[in-house]
Amino acid sequence: MDTGQTNVHRQNGVALWRQIADRIRASIANGDYDATGKVPPEFTLAAQFGVNRHTVRSALAALAQEGIVRSVQGRGTLIERKERLNFPITRRTRFSEGIGDQAREKEGLLLHSAREPASVDLSTRLRIPEGAQVIRLETLRKADRRPVSRSTTWFPADRFGGIEEAYSKSGSITVAFRMLGLSDYLRVSTEVTATHADGADLADLQLSPGAIILVARALNTDTEGVPIQYAVSRFPADMVQFTIEN
């Protein structure tokens, strides 16, 4: 829709090759090169961005490192991977159902769990007394073997004791809830922001530095409206989009 015919900016703390890598990555995700399945020749890109060919090569090398493109001498630079998962945010938002058939293989990994007293902020959101025990789960979700989200999620400990194991076994919050006798729940609010990926994101989500992540802070309640879960999830912005249907 928007052609983005803007040129690249110098001396701003972001190296030219990285700016160009980001632009090319976005163009690939946007489907701009679908006709050929290839990125335009280095020479062409260099002219387009107004930089030296070597600078473009640095950008393509970075994308190759990410596994997004693969350069073949004599042929060109082929697009290896191209994806943007869509996450609907509705009153009945569930991670695994949300992906639907956009991915064949879905996985939920429990990285870490802990019990701790609720902070002021958290106790307000979950409507529990300040300092009350909560269970915190650190989880990583994958679709087709690629990490798509890194979540920190809290549950009131008195009501959901044992959810660590339930999640660990099932890899699904929905199923874990069901194992603990909660058959249904609702998403009441979601806050969405965006930020640069930090070190933990880079490692867990297998991103390259400078990457952008979408941050969703979500509150779920049971059907009575009692808060049962607060979650902060981080998604790679170039792989994911949110859709809100009203």
Contacts of residue 96, Cβ cutoff 8 Å, sequence gap at least 6: 106, 108, 172, 174
Sign of CA dihedral 56, 85, 89, 133: negative
When CB distances are held under 5 to 8 angstroms depending on the partner's kind, the choice from DNA, a copy of itself, none that residue 200 binds is: a copy of itself
Q: Cβ 201 to a copy of itself, closest distance in Å?
A: 8
Q: Are 233 and 150 in contact (CB under 8 A)?
A: yes
When CB distances are held under 5 to 8 angstroms depending on the partner's kind, the choice from a copy of itself, DNA, none that residue 42 binds is: DNA
Per CB under 7 A, does 6 bind DNA? no
Per CB under 8 A, does 191 bind a copy of itself? yes
Q: Are 131 and 107 in contact (CB under 8 A)?
A: no
Six-digit token pair at 202? 């880079």
Of the candidate spans 3-11, 70-78, 105-113, 158-166, the one that interacts with a copy of itself by CB under 8 A turns out to be 3-11
Q: How many CA atoms lie within 13 A of 179 on its CB side?
A: 17
Say if residue 204 is exposed, middle or buried (CB neighbours under 10 Å; 0-12, 13-18, 19+): middle
Contact track, DNA, 38-67, x by CB under 7 A: -x-xxxx-----xxx-xx-xx-x-------
Per CB under 8 A, does 194 bind a copy of itself? yes
Position among 75, 91, 104, 145 found at the interface with a copy of itself (CB under 8 A) = 91
Query: Which residues here bind DNA, judged by CB under 7 A?
Result: 10-13, 15-18, 39, 41-44, 50-52, 54-55, 57-58, 60, 71-77
